[in-house]
Structure 1
Amino acid sequence: MRARLTLLVAATTVLVLLAFLVPIALLLRQAAQDRALGRANAVVQAIVPLAGGDPRALRLAVPAAAVPVTVFLPDGTTVGEPAAATPAVRLAVAGNRAITVATGDGREVVVPVVGTAGTSVVRTVVTEADLTRGVSRSWLTLAGLGVALLLLGLFVADRLARAITAPITQLSEVSHRLAGAELTARAAPAGPPELREVAGALNHLAGRIQELLAAERERVADLSHRLRTPLTALRLEAESLHDPEESARVAAAADGVARAVTAVIQQTRRASSVSAAHCDATAVVGDRVAFWRVLAEDTGRAVTESLPDGPLPVAVAPDDLAAALDALLGNVFAHTPDETPFAVTLVPRPVDGAILTVADEGPGFPPTAVRRGRSGGGSTGLGLDIARQVATSFTIGDAPGGAVVTLQLPGA
């Protein structure tokens, strides 16, 4: 934008300079010609009275003239600069009038003088050098003035363009900082009134986002108090079970729910700046599959697990990866019949990262499953969205034997 504004001002300045300087240049050339012709006419008019009078005075005055002058006498002789009679001289004698004609050497000025002995003609030639004397220097001065004015216009245009574009650049930087979760970023109102209004609106939007996020964090934090009573009751029920293994399993499940709620609260209350997160995908996936394997055995589901032999680092927080896999496996248990087998596969990507696949032999996903908040199966529809948030690429579909969900995890 800054370059375009400068170019626009440059083009406008050039047009204005041409509109003024070209006529001035032509006027200067015409003034130089008029000055040279006027000087020649003045010399000729000073000699005219002597052409019809005393020949001796004429012979003394002509050589002393400021310009070369030739006087053609009626007897055919000449006084002054030697020259042959030209058509202009003969025309002046025949027409008995003064004329000025253009020649190859410049301008020829002839004035007839009628005397007692006949008609004499006073002739002088204004050369092209005299007609254009000082014109080149004047044109160079005008050109220099035009270039100076153009440079000054470009400088002023660049300053004005910078005064306009600098606030726009600042607004862009602030918007990118806000997009990067730096919610304390604010734009300084500067520039034209319209840009100051935009800066104020952007600052108001950032403040409103902060308020909404703060309110959201507080609402999420209230979950700990809302769930404390039912979780305590669940632990008491688990302790009252007669089967120690069943009691331990239910208590572990309650503890898992408590840890999940605590993790959500801590994640919500984290600072706005995004810190780098990473984990060993092999360890996290293996731990969560082992957790769900117990429930799979109770419901008669065959579990197929395929994990790398060694660690597989990915740029995902362990809690986020565990929550994503729990959401996918929870969908399997919630939306497929008992005894439906499923498989979890984790393989490294060719460059970096990993590919996590969860496949089952159930009825597959309904068409609305790809939309956030719409599951078609009587749930909230947010389970798949939890998995989407940790993946750089997320695909779901129906395989020949059921449904397949594939997540591409970023490399650490």
Structure 2
Amino acid sequence: MRRRLTLLVGATTSLVLVAFLVPLALLVHTVAHDRAISSAAIEARALSAVVTGDEAALRSVVQRTNAGEPFPVTVFRPDGTVIGEPAPESPAVRLARTGRTLNAELPDGGIEVLFSVGAAEGTSVIRVYVGPEEQRAGVYRAWLILALLGTTLLGIGLLVANRLARSLVRSIDGLADTSRRLAEGDLTARARPEGPPEISAVAGTLNTLATRISDLLVRERERVADLSHRVRTPLTALRLDVESVRDPAERERLEMSVAALERAVTRSINDARRPAGEGGRCDATRVVRERVEFWSVLAEDQERPLTVELPDRPLPVGLPDDELEPAVDALLGNVFAHTPDGTAFAVRLRPGGPDGAVLVVEDEGPGLPESATERGTSGAGSSGLGLDIARRAAESSGGSLAADSPSGARITLVLGAPVER
């Protein structure tokens, strides 16, 4: 934008300068031409006083004139004698012998100024030759000065336009930078109300919008946290009921499930109150191994063949374990929720690119519907948020989620590497 504004001012200034300097340059040429003709005419009139006198004196005056003036002088006497600069007797000279004073253009571009002087012995003609160089004397220098003046004015105009455009664009760049930071999750970003009134008004409106978004997010986090906190009461009652179970194995299994549910509730409260954009890191190998061990018990009960492929080294990823765990649980939970008992599934974790990790969960079930990856959409009566939870976890680390159905269902979760701060 800055360059466009500068170019616009430059084009406008150039048009104004052309409209002003071109006529002025033509005027300079005309003035120089008229000045040369006028000087030649004055020189011819000055000689007219001595033409009718002594011829020796006339020759002396003409010789001095030709030696000191830029315009050659020739005097055509009535008897055909030529005094001064040799020149042919042109038709214009013969016309001037009739008593007329005139100017005539010559083929070489010069002009002869003819002045007739009558006497008793006849009419003499004074011819003053004005060459092309004399007609343009000083013109080129004046044009050069005009060109330098125009260039200087254009440069000053571009400099002023660039300064004004820079101040204007700086304000717009500030707005763009603030908008970018807000889009990246930095809700503390604020624009400086500066520049023209219109841009300052936009900056103020953007700051008001950012404040409003921050307030709404705080309210929403507290609302989710309060909702999660309300679940603790029935969880407490459920734990008491579990403790009354007499079968030790069944009681232990139920206690583990209730503990996992409590951890999920606690995680929901922490996630709701965590500021947006706050990152973290964890070992994907450890987290996936722990979640697979948890779900393997249910897989064994439902006679589901399970294939697990995990690397023998840690794979750091750019999100905390309390975000990766629900993402893995969502992918594994989908297998149990959307496939019949006995369906085989596999969990594979491998390094992803230079850093990060890639988690693949696939099963031999009926496959995924086309809308399975849309938030809130499910074909099994569930909330349809499982894959969206996994997707948001992956995207928060700079990764992605992909789903396809080659033979069954396959979910690929790409996890980004942790960001060093």
Give TM-score scaled by structure 1 length: 0.92
Tell me the number of residue pairs that the alignment of Structure 1 and Structure 2 aligns. 409
Partner of 1:403: 409
Query: Contact (CA 8 Å) 1:375, 1:381: kept in 2 or not?
Result: yes
Partner of 1:118: 122
> What displacement does 1:380 show?
0.9
Unaligned runs of 5+ in 2: none
Query: Contact (CA 8 Å) 1:223, 1:261: kept in 2 or not?
Result: no
Rounded Cα–Cα distance in structure 2 between residues aligned with 1:397 and 1:55: 119
> What displacement does 1:254 show?
1.4
Deviates more, 1:148-157 or 1:317-326: 317-326
Rounded Cα–Cα distance in structure 1 between residues aligned with 2:403 and 2:198: 47
Query: Contact (CA 8 Å) 1:52, 1:116: kept in 2 or not?
Result: no
Partner of 2:227: 223
Decide which of 274, 279, 283 is 2:282's aligned counterpart: 279
Cα distance, 1:224–1:84 mapped onto 2, change above 3 Å: closer
Partner of 2:82: 78
Residue by residue over 1:144-196, the C-alpha shift from the partner in whole angstroms, topping out at 9 and shown as x without a partner, is: 11111000110111012112211111111001111221101111222333322
Superposition pairs of residues 23-34 of structure 1, within 5 angstroms = 23-34=23-34
Residue by residue over 1:276-326, the C-alpha shift from the partner in whole angstroms, topping out at 9 and shown as x without a partner, is: x22222211111111111222333333222212222232232222211111
Rounded Cα–Cα distance in structure 2 between residues aligned with 1:175 and 1:82: 86
Query: Contact (CA 8 Å) 1:325, 1:387: kept in 2 or not?
Result: yes
Query: 1:22 is aligned with what amino acid?
Result: V
Superposition pairs of residues 149-188 of structure 1, within 5 angstroms = 149-188=153-192
Partner of 2:314: 311
Query: 2:334 is aligned with what amino acid?
Result: N
Partner of 2:203: 199
Rounded Cα–Cα distance in structure 2 between residues aligned with 1:253 and 1:37: 114
Rounded Cα–Cα distance in structure 1 between residues aligned with 2:126 and 2:361: 116
Rounded Cα–Cα distance in structure 1 between residues aligned with 2:387 and 2:182: 27
Decide which of 269, 272, 277 is 2:273's aligned counterpart: 269
Decide which of 120, 131, 136 is 1:132's aligned counterpart: 136
Decide which of 398, 401, 409 is 1:394's aligned counterpart: 401
Cα distance, 1:297–1:105 mapped onto 2, change above 3 Å: closer
Rounded Cα–Cα distance in structure 2 between residues aligned with 1:307 and 1:60: 120
Query: Contact (CA 8 Å) 2:337, 2:380: kept in 1 or not?
Result: no
Superposition pairs of residues 232-311 of structure 1, within 5 angstroms = 232-275=236-279, 277-311=280-314
Q: Secondary structure at the match of 1:181?
A: coil
Rounded Cα–Cα distance in structure 1 between residues aligned with 2:48 and 2:391: 108
Query: Contact (CA 8 Å) 1:328, 1:384: kept in 2 or not?
Result: yes
Deviates more, 1:284-293 or 1:55-64: 55-64
Deviates more, 1:332-341 or 1:5-14: 332-341
Cα distance, 1:310–1:240 mapped onto 2, change above 3 Å: same
Query: Contact (CA 8 Å) 2:310, 2:350: kept in 1 or not?
Result: yes
Query: Contact (CA 8 Å) 2:229, 2:269: kept in 1 or not?
Result: no
Rounded Cα–Cα distance in structure 2 between residues aligned with 1:395 and 1:68: 97
Cα distance, 1:69–1:399 mapped onto 2, change above 3 Å: closer
Partner of 2:20: 20
Q: Secondary structure at the match of 1:119?
A: strand
Cα distance, 1:18–1:350 mapped onto 2, change above 3 Å: closer
Residue by residue over 1:195-217, the C-alpha shift from the partner in whole angstroms, topping out at 9 and shown as x without a partner, is: 22322222122112101110111
RMSD: 2.2
> What displacement does 1:222 show?
0.5
Deviates more, 1:53-62 or 1:134-143: 53-62
Rounded Cα–Cα distance in structure 2 between residues aligned with 1:364 and 1:147: 73
Deviates more, 1:18-27 or 1:362-371: 362-371
Q: Secondary structure at the match of 2:384?
A: coil
Partner of 1:39: 39
1:359 aligns with 2:362: yes
Query: Contact (CA 8 Å) 1:2, 1:161: kept in 2 or not?
Result: yes
Query: 2:299 is aligned with what amino acid?
Result: A
Partner of 2:343: 340
Rounded Cα–Cα distance in structure 2 between residues aligned with 1:34 and 1:10: 35
Deviates more, 1:120-129 or 1:143-152: 120-129
Query: Contact (CA 8 Å) 1:234, 1:251: kept in 2 or not?
Result: no
Unaligned runs of 5+ in 1: none
Query: Contact (CA 8 Å) 1:336, 1:363: kept in 2 or not?
Result: yes
> What displacement does 1:339 show?
3.0
Cα distance, 1:172–1:313 mapped onto 2, change above 3 Å: same
Rounded Cα–Cα distance in structure 2 between residues aligned with 1:319 and 1:174: 31
Query: 1:394 is aligned with what amino acid?
Result: L
Query: 2:358 is aligned with what amino acid?
Result: I
Query: 1:339 is aligned with what amino acid?
Result: G
Superposition pairs of residues 369-380 of structure 1, within 5 angstroms = 369-380=372-383
Q: Secondary structure at the match of 2:127?
A: strand
> What displacement does 1:109 show?
1.0
